[in-house]
Structure 1
Amino acid sequence: MPREYLISVDVETAGPVPSRFALLSIGACPIDRPELGFYVELMPEHEAVAPGALEITGLSMEQLAEDGEAPETAMREFAAWIAEVTPAGELPVFVGFNASFDWMFVADYFERFLGRNPFGHSALDIKAYFMGKTGSSWQETSMKHLSPRYLGGSRLSHNALGDARDQAALFRAILADTTAISDET
C-alpha cells in the first residue's frame, strides 16, 4: 500500500453549505512541513452571506469579486500544489479541524470545477482523532479545550493558511502526546 501524506486544509466561506454560499479562501500545508503553504482567495459564485460570516474572516465579497481567482482556476492551482508537495508514490490525505465542514466545500468545488478530487473520497478529522485517542466528549474537542493544552492558548486567526498551519501544529502535538485514555479520565 502507498504511504499517506497528511495535508492540513482550512477554508473560509460565506456560509454553512456550498449549495448556497461561496467558498472564499483555501489554505493548506503539509502536516510535517507547514512552511510549504498554499493560499488562494476565490471569486464568489454565490452572493448570499450568512450573518457574521464575513466579520469572522475579514474578507469582502466585493473585493473578492474583483480580485479573487475564478473557482476553476483556484481549484486547478490547488490540485497542482497538492501534486507538487505530495512525495512520489504517496497518497495525499485531507486533514481538517472539524473536517466535515471544510471537506464538503473542498470536495464540492473539486468535483464541480475539476471533475476530480485529488484527496479521493475521505478526510481525517482532528477532533474525531482526539476524541478517539483520549476518550473525551465531542465538546472537549473544541479549540477552547485543545489550544491551551497543545498550542499555548493561541486562537485561530480565521486566515485559511494561518489556521491550516495551526491545525498542523495541533495535529503534530496530538500525535506526539503519549497520554493514554486511562490517564485522561
Structure 2
Amino acid sequence: MVYLSIDVEASGPFPGLFSLVSIGAVVVKSKKDGTWAVDRGATFYEEMKHLPDAKELEAATNIHGLTREYLDDHGRDPGEVMEDFADFLDALVRKYKKVTPAAWPASFDSPYVGWYLQYFLDENPLGWSCFDIPSFGMGLFQCHRNALRNLMKKAGIEFGKNPDPHNALADAIEQGETLAQLLNHAKQVRKEKNRVK
C-alpha cells in the first residue's frame, strides 16, 4: 500500500462552478527499512484550461498565478489530463495494489479531483474517500488544528522548505514529506508504548 499525496490549484472554492487549473501528485511509500518517504520518481503534474462557463475568483488566481489567459495558451484539455491521471493511477495500482489518496486538507483537493474524474471519465478510480493529513496529525498529537503545527515542530516534524508555494506538485511533495514524517513519528510512538508494556 502507498499513499498518493495530491494537491490542486483552482479558480475558486467549488468544483464545477470553478475550474481545476493544476494538479500535482507524488507517491509516499514505505522503504526497505520500514520508514516512510516521498518517491520523487513517481510524480504527476499538469496545468489545464478552464471549464468554458466556470467562474474565476481574482483572489484565487492571485494565489497560484495561473490566469485564464495563460492557461488558454499553455494549459491542456482537462479531459485529456484526467485520462493521463487515470493512467498514472492505474500504473500505481498495478505496482502497489492499494493506493490511498491523501491531502492537506482533503476537504478541498479531494472534491475537485473526484468531480473532474467523474465528469470527464464517468468514473472516479480514486473512490470517494481521502486520507486527511491534518486530521491524522490531530489524532496523533491529541490536539486541535490550530495547535498542530507547533506540536509537530516540538516533535521534530517540520514542513519542508517549499521553493514554489502554490505550485500543485511542489505542494504535493511538501505535504507528502509531512505525511511521511507523521507516519514515522506514529511508528516511533507505538514502539515506545510497546517498550513500556
Q: What is the TM-score with the length of structure 2 in the denominator?
A: 0.81
Match of 2:13 among 12, 16, 34: 16
Q: Indicate whether 1:131 and 2:128 are aligned.
A: no
**Which structure 2 residue ranges, 5 or more long, are not aligned?**
30-38, 191-197
CA distances 1:68-106 after superposition (whole Å, capped 9, x unpaired): 111110100001011123344612211101011000000
Bigger shift: residues 52-61 or 72-81: 52-61
Q: Is the Cα contact below 8 Å between 1:7 and 1:31 reproduced in 2? A: yes
Q: Indicate whether 1:36 and 2:42 are aligned.
A: yes
| Structure 2 partner of 1:172 | 180
Secondary structure at the aligned position of 1:34 is classed as: strand
CA separation in 1, counterparts of 2:160 and 2:43?
Answer: 23
CA distances 1:7-46 after superposition (whole Å, capped 9, x unpaired): 1100000110013110000000101313321101111004
Map 1:55-134 onto structure 2 (within 5 A).
55-88=62-95, 90-134=97-141
Bigger shift: residues 80-89 or 127-136: 80-89
**Which structure 1 residue ranges, 5 or more long, are not aligned?**
181-185
CA separation in 2, counterparts of 1:145 and 1:89?
Answer: 32
Secondary structure at the aligned position of 1:39 is classed as: strand
| Structure 1 partner of 2:60 | 53
Aligned length: 176
Secondary structure at the aligned position of 1:151 is classed as: coil
Q: Is the Cα contact below 8 Å between 1:34 and 1:168 reproduced in 2? A: no
Aligned residues with identical type, % of pairs: 30
Secondary structure at the aligned position of 2:102 is classed as: strand
- Larger C-alpha radius of gyration, 1 or 2? 2
CA separation in 1, counterparts of 2:126 and 2:55?
Answer: 28
CA separation in 2, counterparts of 1:172 and 1:161?
Answer: 16
RMSD (CA atoms)? 2.2
Distance 1:120-1:14 versus aligned 2 partners, 3 A rule: same
CA separation in 2, counterparts of 1:84 and 1:133?
Answer: 32
Q: What is the TM-score with the length of structure 1 in the denominator?
A: 0.85
